Structure 1
Amino acid sequence: MKAADSRVLLTGASGGIGSAAARRLIQAGASVMLAGRSPARLAAQARALVRELGVERHRVEWYASDLTRVDSLDPLVQVAAQWQCNAVVHGAGTPAFGRLESFDAGAVAQVLQLNLFTPMLLTQALLPHLRQQKQASVLFVGSVLGRLGLPGFSVYSAGKFGLRGFAESLRRELADTSVKVQYLGPRSTKTEFNSEAVERYNQATKTAMDDADTVAQALVQLLERGTAERFLGFPEKLAVRLNGMAPALLDGAFAAHRNSLPPVQPPAPLTLEHFESQRPESADAHSLQAPQL
């Protein structure tokens, strides 16, 4: 799909990779609907893109939606379909780093919700519309950690492994349709996504990092070329291949990573107040920003 022919719903649009991807997509000729939580941040981002890139205002729309809430997905889908999107880039996600014993059940559920379940459900809801397009694309921004498990990233990798598996299976399921399914696996990227603990881990393990614009350029290339998967960085790309063929052979290669993990920080015990705080608000109490169309 040529970028100039694409109308892209971009989730996580205000994040590090998301912001860079929005800019690169628009520069390549795409129209983009920015999706994220903050109306103020999205509006400012849209104005800045129009002003700095000198493009028509109608090429940069935005819609505020809390993707952690299942009941926010249908309104987003309706707006995206009305806007005639023919591509969705799943860029929203949340980090998770540390030893498994440091996570409570709520934290694990939150990571899997945003990194795996939400992209699945949003894709499912958009498919009837995307199937009607002459050409369409569903592009998942995953991670190298979706094919290469590292110490300290068990929870994060669980979501990304699932996301890559979902993309692979769905790609084969839709092979006889106009909808292409693609997966981009960046390596560690220089964004605010990384905590101080991750930064220390990367330094201790001499982990190479890309900037967000490198990932954004790869994303646009993947969309235009229609390739099924792309992983970024060396030796990460080689490790992904080896891990796919004989994963046990690499088990001994990550001693430095294991030894660089922070000590276990036991999660706080769950209380009744915790479960009350996790209870979803009523639909009446939850309002979405009106579509900017």
Structure 2
Amino acid sequence: MNLKGKTVLLTGASGGIGQAIALELAAAGARLVLVARNTVRLATLQAELVAKYPAAHQIFSADLTQTQDRQDLLAFVRELQGIDVLINNAGISQFGLVAQQDFAAQLGTNLLMPMLLTQTLLPELQRKPEALIVNVGSAFGSIGYPGFSGYSASKFGLRGFTEALKRELSDTGVQVLYFAPRATDTAINSDAVVAMNRELGNRSDSPQLVATALLQQIQQGQARRFVGWPEQLFVRVNAIFPGIVDKALAAKLAVIRRYAQLSHSEA
């Protein structure tokens, strides 16, 4: 899709990846509707975008896990004469053993919220001759990773929702894409996660690299994109020969468990 002149609604816009995505989209000529809970950060980002890429960029502060906030956003979108692209980027992560996990918060934000928001805004997208939904998942949405059971479950679910929705809308003008970055250098990762990744040799990407990859996917209309190597390989291997990945992660389990317990003690 050529984004010039398109109106793009981006959730999680105040986060590290969200801000980088917003800058890439604005540079590509899109008009943005920036959505997050933090009004101050949204206003700061809006001012930066307007200064660099003058356009009618809008902000909307909301807790999208709440029904009324989603309905208020729908009314706001209608005032803007609709949107062309919805990017479900908002998400949270928690590192810890199963006993330490807040499953409700992670599933509510990472899975249920984008499903419900898509349900709310889909009629508006269907009014456009060409529209797009992008769900931002994770490599952990294809590889269940110790210490991230809640996050993995939520992203597995989001991948399944995206696949089903894509097939359901395949005879319409609404495209559905799934984007899966690996670890990214943002505040979503705790100090324990950063230290664990360093000890295990797990690589991470900058928000700018991730945002560039997402923009390329949108412009190319690529249905699924996984960012990072060897994560792309592990996704394929895990889908066909999960036992191989079981053994590879078992060898790392003592380190993962040590950092998960450290993370819990620091919380």
TM-score after normalising by structure 1: 0.86
1:14-71 CA-to-partner distances (Å, cap 9, x unmatched) read 10000000000000111111101122221121011211x1x3241x111111123232
Q: Which residue of 1 aligns with 2:90?
A: 92
1:117 is displaced (CA, Å) by 0.1
Give the secondary structure class of the aligned counterpart of 1:3: coil
Q: Match of 2:113?
A: 118
Give the letter for the 1:229 counterpart: R
Is 1:38 matched with 2:35?
no
The CA deviation at 1:264 is 4.7
Judge conservation of contact 2:64–2:117 (CA < 8 Å) in 1.
Answer: no
Give 3-state SS (helix, strand or coil) of 1:4's partner.
coil
CA distance in 2, matches of 1:139, 1:257: 33
Matches of 2:194 and 2:11 in 1, distance apart?
Answer: 25
| 1:1-293 mapped onto 2 (5 Å cutoff) | 1-51=1-51, 53=52, 55-58=53-56, 60-83=57-80, 84-103=82-101, 107-260=102-255, 261=257, 262=259, 264=261
Report the Cα distance in structure 2 between the residues aligned to 1:159 and 1:121, rounded to whole angstroms: 14
CA-CA distance at 1:132 after TM superposition: 1.0
2 CA distance for matches of 1:204 and 1:86? 43
Q: Give % identity.
A: 42
- 1:81–1:224 CA distance, 2 compared to 1 (3 A): farther
Instruction: Name the CA distance, whole Å, in 2 between partners of 1:247 and 1:29.
Output: 42
Whichever residue aligns with residue 77 of structure 1, its letter is L
What amino acid is the match of 1:167? T
C-alpha displacement at 1:78, in angstroms? Answer: 2.0
Contact 2:31 2:55 in 1 (8 A): no
Any conservation in 1 of the 2:147–2:260 contact (CA below 8 Å)?
no
Alpha-carbon separation, structure 2, partners of 1:35 and 1:203: 32
Q: Is the 1:3–1:220 contact (alpha carbons within 8 Å) kept by the matching residues of 2? A: no
Can you list the C-alpha shifts for 1:140-177, whole angstroms capped at 9, x where unaligned?
Answer: 11101100111111110000000000000100000000
For residue 256 of structure 1, report the CA deviation from its aligned partner. 4.2
Please tell me whether the aligned partners of residues 139 and 182 of structure 2 are also in contact (alpha carbons under 8 angstroms). Answer: yes
Consecutive unaligned residues of structure 2, counting only runs of 5 or more, are none
CA RMSD of aligned residues (A): 1.6
Alignment partner of 1:35: what SS?
strand
Mapped partners of 1:197, 1:80: distance in 2? 40
CA distance in 1, matches of 2:243, 2:6: 41
What secondary structure does 2:4 align onto?
helix
Shift of residue 81, structure 1, vs aligned partner: 3.2
Provide TM-score, normalisation by structure 2: 0.94
Q: Which runs of 5+ in 1 are unaligned?
A: 268-293
